[in-house]
Amino acid sequence: MALFNTIVAGAPVTGRDVYVPPVTYPTVGTIWKAGGTYNVTWDTTNPPRQITNKMGRIVLAKAGRLQLDHTLALGFDILTGIHEVIVPRNITSGRDYQIVLFGDSGNSCAEFTIL
């Protein structure tokens, strides 16, 4: 068993394809309103040939913490570069919100405001 663990532990890691497309909107200075509909956008330039998980998820973060109860979108293709979301009506106003885009990995935008 020790030999197996040594061989597996020493095996090179290949074929991983972490794709982290940068979120391009919202940006610093953006103001969204609770209940409003907006397009989240991200740069899909130069994706890897193989992407392990193309299914996207958009979640709000506040003060750097994921707000998993505020999933804005789920199950879309991350290669589209755009997805429409609706801001929940019951959200607390703040200047420290971020959009987090998940697929292979998570990537967030700059902080913006929700009123």
**Residue 80 pLDDT:** 95
Please indicate, yes or no, if residue 28 is contained in any of the structural domains.
yes
Q: Considering Cα of 34, then 38, then 44, then 49, what sign does the dihedral take? A: positive
Q: Is residue 40 part of a domain?
A: yes
> Would you tell me how many other CB atoms lie within 10 Å of the CB of residue 5?
9
Residue 3 has pLDDT above 60, yes or no: no
Give the model confidence (pLDDT) of 52-108 as tens digits.
888 999 999 999 999 998 899 999 999 999 999 999 999 999 999 999 999 867 789
Per-residue pLDDT tens for 25-62? 999 999 999 999 999 999 999 888 888 888 999 999 99
Task: Tell me, yes or no, whether 16 lies in a domain.
Answer: no
| Number of domains the chain is built from | 1
| 42-69 b/e (C-beta count within 10 Å ≥ 16 → b) | bebeebeeebeeeebbbbbbbeeebbee
User: Residue 76's domain is classified under what CATH number?
Assistant: 2.70.50.50
Containing domain of residue 42, as a range? 23-114
Q: Which amino acid is at 9?
A: A
pTM, to two decimals? 0.82
Residue 62 lies in a domain: yes
Taking CA 49 as the corner, what is the angle to CA 45 and CA 52, rounded to the nearest 5 degrees? 100
- In this prediction, residues 12-35 reach a mean pLDDT of 84
Are 15 and 99 spatial neighbours (Cβ–Cβ below 8 Å)? no
